């Protein structure tokens, strides 16, 4: 008879184990106890683990990290190991269970296998995590409708962060996210954590011990630039739209930003930010819904060759002034004018309508996983910042105060006197 000693778990570890989610994403501080917990769940927890005869796998970002996991798991399973081959990175148990070990230095890790459970250890540090998960690892869970854990201390704002956001999104009921700082482990001396707080730079401590997603200078917009505050209701609005016509999970987003400019104070107000993964018809509906809410003077939409149909359809079927914007400059150059306003502390976010994910995208730009909403904000600002006292008669179907010149550049949308 095999007796498995029960682990002494703290509340944070028990919360992860108690979850019914198929995919669990845990952002953990140093010495939280995540690797030990994940090894227990994968190999010894219950009949759905390796000890119950199931096929399981452990993924690590490098051979060095993988070696440590191998040693710990091999030692804990030693009484029930039938065959262990470190060259093949495979442990077979007398119960029929299997534990395979893979390094994510190979984006095809696990391809062709079938698993009941997998763990991706230190997922934030895996360079090819997105490709490995979507193209190789996720399909290994299909046959048995298997489960996956993503456990890691954060490392900036990357694909692990995107998976963490998915776990916090009610639109993904199979996913659950956990934020567990080091201090959630009651077995760690509090004075040791406090000493690290005093010794380490604030951002390093926030990432390594508070398990927060931070950026280290790569972002052009600094946290101290960001300000929250309401916008005067009577200021005109423009919409900036960055298009991505796709419903595929992991694809880029269609982002819509509502922005106003106060000519008296020079302030720029981001009044609303939203994003969606959607097909052609839903994208049209989302833009139309935003326009109905804000009654914009202009909708500036990124237009590449395959996106022209969106601009054409909105211009044909709605009353709004719509303009296609050709992204003929790199994204940093496009954002530079708005960045200057952030540096001058002239940009304000409506806290009720600008979500936390936009702040994170903004702080990570230009190195973050996504920059769709940042691009949309740049298009909106370019539309709102134009000036030129020109009198004219508006074209049919365009908003008062705007006229179209033949050139394609957005700078050739001029405003009439009093439009702003």
Task: Give the tens place of pLDDT for each residue, 243-255.
Answer: 988 877 767 899 9
**Judgement on whether residues 82 and 126 belong to the same structural domain of the protein:** yes
List, for residues 111-164, the tens digit of each pLDDT value. Answer: 999 999 999 999 999 988 999 999 999 999 999 999 999 999 998 888 999 999
CA distances to 42, 53, 117 from 47, rounded to whole Å, are 10, 7, 11
Average pLDDT over residues 73-81: 94
Position 48 in a domain: yes
Residue 386 binned pLDDT confidence (cut-offs 50, 70, 90)? low
- In this prediction, residue 409 has a pLDDT band, given cuts at 50, 70 and 90, of very low
Residues 372 and 344 in one domain: yes
Structure confidence at residue 306 (pLDDT): 66
Among 182, 208, 234, which residue terminates a domain? 208
18 & 164 share domain: yes
Query: In angstroms, what CA-CA distances link 54 with 7, 34, 118, 133, 146?
Result: 21, 22, 11, 21, 10
Residue 3 lies inside a defined structural domain of this protein: no
Within-domain flag for 217:
no
Q: How far apart are CA 93 and CA 107, in angstroms?
A: 27
Same structural domain, 90 and 180: yes
Residues 203 and 230 both lie in one domain = no
Integer Cα distance of 294 and 186 in angstroms: 50
Which residue, of 173, 208, 243, is where some domain finishes?
208
How many domains does the chain contain in total?
Answer: 2
Looking at the structure, tell me whether residues 235 and 371 fall in a common domain: yes
Q: Indicate whether 241 and 373 sit together in one domain.
A: yes
**Structural domain boundaries, residue 150:** 11-208
- Higher confidence at residue 368 or residue 206? 206
One domain for residues 261 and 166 = no
Residues 325, 328, 332, 338: what is their CA dihedral angle, to the nearest 10 degrees?
-30
Split at pLDDT 50, 70, 90, the class of 75 is very high
Whether residue 1 is contained in a domain is answered as: no
Residues 284 and 168 in one domain: no
Question: Within this chain, do residues 309 and 380 fall inside the same structural domain, yes or no?
Answer: yes
CATH code at position 279: 3.30.420.280
Q: Are residues 61 and 116 in the same domain?
A: yes
The pLDDT mean for the chain works out to 86
Is 204 inside any structural domain? yes
145 vs 47: CA distance, rounded Å: 15
> Is 297 inside any structural domain?
yes
CATH number, domain at 187?
3.40.50.300
pLDDT in tens, 4-16: 566 789 999 999 9
Q: Is residue 6 part of a domain?
A: no
For the chain, what's the residue count? 420
* 270 occurs within a structural domain: yes
User: Do 157 and 271 fall within a single domain?
Assistant: no
> Comparing 65-74, 322-331, 380-389, 397-406, which segment has the lowest mean pLDDT?
397-406
Q: What whole-number distance in Å separates Cα of residue 316 and Cα of residue 339?
A: 34
Cα(111)–Cα(109) distance, rounded to whole angstroms?
6
The domain boundary, picked from 146, 181, 208, lies at 208
């Amino acid at each position: 008879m095999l007796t498995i000693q029960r682990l002494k778990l703290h509340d944070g570890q028990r919360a992860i184990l108690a979850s019914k989610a198929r995919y669990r994403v845990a952002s953990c501080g140093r010495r939280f106890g995540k690797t030990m917990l994940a090894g227990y769940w994968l190999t010894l927890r219950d009949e759905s683990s390796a000890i119950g005869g199931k096929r399981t796998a452990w993924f690590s970002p490098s051979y060095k990290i993988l070696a440590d996991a191998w040693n710990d798991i091999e030692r804990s399973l030693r009484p029930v190991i039938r065959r262990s081959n470190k060259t093949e990175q495979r442990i077979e148990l007398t119960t029929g269970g299997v534990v395979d070990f893979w390094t994510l230095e190979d984006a095809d890790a696990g391809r062709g296998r079938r698993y009941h459970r997998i763990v991706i250890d230190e997922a934030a540090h895996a360079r090819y995590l997105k490709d490995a998960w979507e193209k190789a690892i996720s399909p290994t869970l299909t046959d048995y409708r298997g489960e996956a854990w993503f456990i890691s201390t954060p490392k900036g704002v990357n694909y692990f962060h995107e998976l963490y956001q998915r776990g916090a999104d009610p639109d993904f009921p199979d996913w659950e996210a956990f934020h567990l700082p080091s201090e959630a482990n009651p077995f760690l001396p509090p004075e040791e954590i406090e000493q690290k707080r005093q010794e380490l730079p604030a951002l390093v401590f926030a990432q390594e011990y508070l398990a927060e997603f931070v950026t280290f200078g790569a972002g052009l917009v600094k946290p101290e630039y960001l300000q929250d505050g309401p916008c005067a209701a009577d200021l005109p609005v423009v919409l900036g739209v960055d298009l991505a016509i796709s419903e595929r999970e992991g694809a880029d987003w269609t982002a819509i930003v509502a922005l106003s400019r106060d000519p008296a104070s020079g302030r720029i107000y981001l009044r609303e930010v939203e994003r969606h993964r959607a097909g052609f018809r839903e994208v049209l509906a989302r833009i139309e819904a935003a326009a109905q809410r804000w009654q914009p003077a202009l909708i500036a939409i990124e237009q590449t060759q395959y996106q022209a149909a969106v601009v054409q359809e909105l211009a044909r079927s709605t009353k709004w002034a719509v303009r296609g914007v050709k992204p003929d400059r790199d994204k940093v150059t496009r954002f530079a004018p708005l960045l200057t306003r952030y540096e001058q502390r002239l940009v304000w976010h409506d806290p009720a309508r600008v979500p936390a994910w936009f702040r994170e995208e903004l702080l990570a730009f230009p190195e973050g996983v996504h920059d769709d909403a940042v691009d949309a904000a740049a298009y909106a600002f370019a539309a709102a910042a134009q000036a030129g006292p020109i009198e004219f008669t508006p074209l049919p179907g365009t908003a008062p105060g705007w006229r179209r010149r033949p050139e394609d550049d957005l700078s050739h949308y001029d405003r009439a006197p009093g439009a702003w």
